[in-house]
């Protein structure tokens, strides 16, 4: 029975289209992840070279005044990405892994980001995670929505019902053939990603693989549940696509909207004005007020004296 079901499935047009679509888009997603890693490696290497050259130049021009040297120096903070992050890039393009900061006014630099094309940010990244989350369920829906209705509409369901005692078991076997095909493509893409992206098969890799398997099993069970109502193809397709839209687009958007409204972040302009006002108000305050709060946080600097009647770098940075 399974051999016949596999043969009949492999001869269908949906098999060839699904195979070509999943493999093509999946490989593109892996290559985009590889491109992301290469870009980050080049950026980190260039930043390290620039950091050394910048320090040398600033020491050359400001070697006599340490406070002035620190004023102009920029320090590069790097969070090197793991190779497995290329499977799902996420919002790394919005929150860069590399940031250059100065010792001055750190609060105003925390949320600095790179200049990016907003159109590209809106479209997002076509990585392997995107393919698994959005494309795999659509392929499952396309292959399973007419498991029963196709047989009925072609007039072969009565013949099959007369020749088999378990109708539900027959539909389950047809579904199982399609699920195994999707799992085979998933395993191939994960192994290919591990090879191209040089991802070690550690706990993180197997966690992503297990989550992907459970995700596909969820959609497989949902498709089988919908087909079990024995409705026509139009009803099944419309119902499954509606569920896909709700679970992958509408529900995440509602959660995101709830989080944004519950935990509101001040506007960038308001934050900048507040930061600058607070920063410049310190010029008119007594130095003791500033230094008492600073020494409370950093008691190791208590040994440095801050004269009240002249400028001091310790007070300025404090």
pLDDT digits (tens, 9 = 90+) for 280-315: 888 888 888 888 888 999 999 888 888 888 888 888
Q: How far apart are CA 279 and CA 255, in angstroms?
A: 36
> What sign has the CA pseudo-torsion 295, 299, 304, 305?
positive
Q: Would the CA dihedral through 179, 233, 226, 243 be positive or negative? A: positive
Say yes or no to pLDDT of 165 above 80. Answer: no
pLDDT band at 167 (very low <50, low <70, confident <90, very high): low
CA 175 to chain centre: 31
Q: Determine, yes or no, domain membership for 234.
A: yes
For residue 198, being part of any structural domain is answered with yes
Domain range for 184 = 2-30+125-262
Q: Where are the beta strands (DSSP E) in the chain?
A: 75-78, 98-101
Task: Specify if 152 maps to a domain.
Answer: yes
Residue 217 has pLDDT above 80, yes or no: yes
Asked, for residue 15, whether it belongs to a domain, the answer is: yes
pLDDT of residue 110 exceeding 80: no
Is the pLDDT assigned to residue 250 strictly greater than 80?
Answer: yes
Q: Which residues contact 282 (CB under 8 A, 6 or more apart)?
A: 290
pLDDT of residue 38: 92
Would you state the structure tokens that stand for residue 203, as one six-digit string?
């706990």
Q: Is 80 exceeded by the pLDDT of residue 60?
A: yes
Checking if the pLDDT of 161 tops 70, the result is no
Eight-class DSSP state of 299: G
CA atoms of 33 and 148, how far apart (whole Å): 39
Provide mean pLDDT across the span 237-248. Answer: 93
pLDDT band for position 219 (cuts 50, 70, 90): very high
Q: How confident is the model at residue 117 (pLDDT cuts 50, 70, 90)?
A: low
Please state the domain count of the chain: 1
φ, ψ of residue 200 to 5 degrees: the values are: -70, 145
Instruction: Tell me the pLDDT band of 103, cut-offs 50, 70 and 90.
Output: confident
Flag the least confident range among 71-75, 168-172, 212-216, 227-231.
168-172
pLDDT band at 90 (very low <50, low <70, confident <90, very high): confident
Mean pLDDT of the chain: 84
Largest CA distance in the chain: 102
Q: Establish if 191 belongs to a structural domain.
A: yes
Structure tokens at 143: 């292959």
Model confidence at 260, in pLDDT bands (50, 70, 90)?
A: confident
Q: Does the pLDDT of residue 131 top 90, yes or no?
A: yes
156 neighbors 115 (Cβ within 8 angstroms): no
One DSSP character per residue, 36-95 reads HHHHHHHHHHHHHHHHHHHHHHHHHHSTT-HHHHHHH--EEEE-PPPGGGGT--TTTTTS
pLDDT beyond 80 at 164: no
Query: Within a domain: residue 196?
Result: yes
Q: Which of 9-13, 55-59, 191-195 has the lowest mean pLDDT?
A: 9-13
pLDDT at 239 over 90: yes
pTM: 0.79
pLDDT tens column, 198-209: 999 899 999 999
């Amino acid at each position: 029975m399974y051999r016949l079901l596999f043969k009949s499935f492999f001869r269908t047009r949906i098999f060839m289209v699904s195979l070509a679509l999943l493999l093509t888009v999946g490989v593109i997603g892996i290559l985009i992840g590889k491109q992301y890693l290469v870009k980050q490696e080049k950026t980190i290497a260039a930043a390290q070279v620039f950091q050394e050259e910048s320090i040398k130049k600033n020491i050359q021009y400001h070697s006599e005044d340490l406070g002035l040297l620190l004023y102009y120096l920029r320090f590069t903070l790097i969070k090197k990405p793991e190779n497995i992050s290329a499977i799902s890039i996420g919002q790394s393009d919005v929150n860069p892994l590399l940031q250059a900061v100065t010792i001055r006014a750190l609060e105003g630099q925390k949320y600095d980001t790179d200049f990016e094309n907003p159109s590209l940010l809106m479209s997002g990244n076509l990585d392997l995670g995107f393919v698994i989350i959005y494309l795999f369920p659509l392929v499952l829906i396309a292959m399973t929505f007419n498991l029963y209705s196709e047989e009925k509409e072609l007039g072969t369901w009565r013949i099959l019902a007369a020749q088999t005692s378990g109708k539900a078991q027959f539909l389950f076997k047809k579904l199982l053939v399609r699920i195994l095909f999707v799992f085979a493509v998933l395993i191939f893409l994960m192994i290919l990603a591990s090879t191209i992206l040089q991802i070690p098969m550690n706990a993180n890799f197997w966690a992503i693989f297990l989550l992907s398997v459970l995700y596909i099993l969820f959609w497989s069970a949902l498709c089988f549940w919908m087909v079990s109502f024995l409705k026509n193809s139009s009803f099944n397709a419309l119902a499954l696509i509606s569920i896909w839209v709700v679970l992958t687009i509408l529900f995440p958007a509602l959660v995101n909207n709830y989080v944004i409204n519950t935990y509101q972040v001040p506007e960038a302009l308001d934050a900048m004005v507040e930061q600058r006002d607070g920063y410049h108000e310190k010029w008119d305050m007594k130095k003791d007020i500033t230094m008492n709060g600073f020494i409370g946080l950093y008691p190791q600097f208590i040994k440095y004296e801050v004269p009240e009647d002249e400028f001091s770098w310790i007070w300025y940075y404090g």
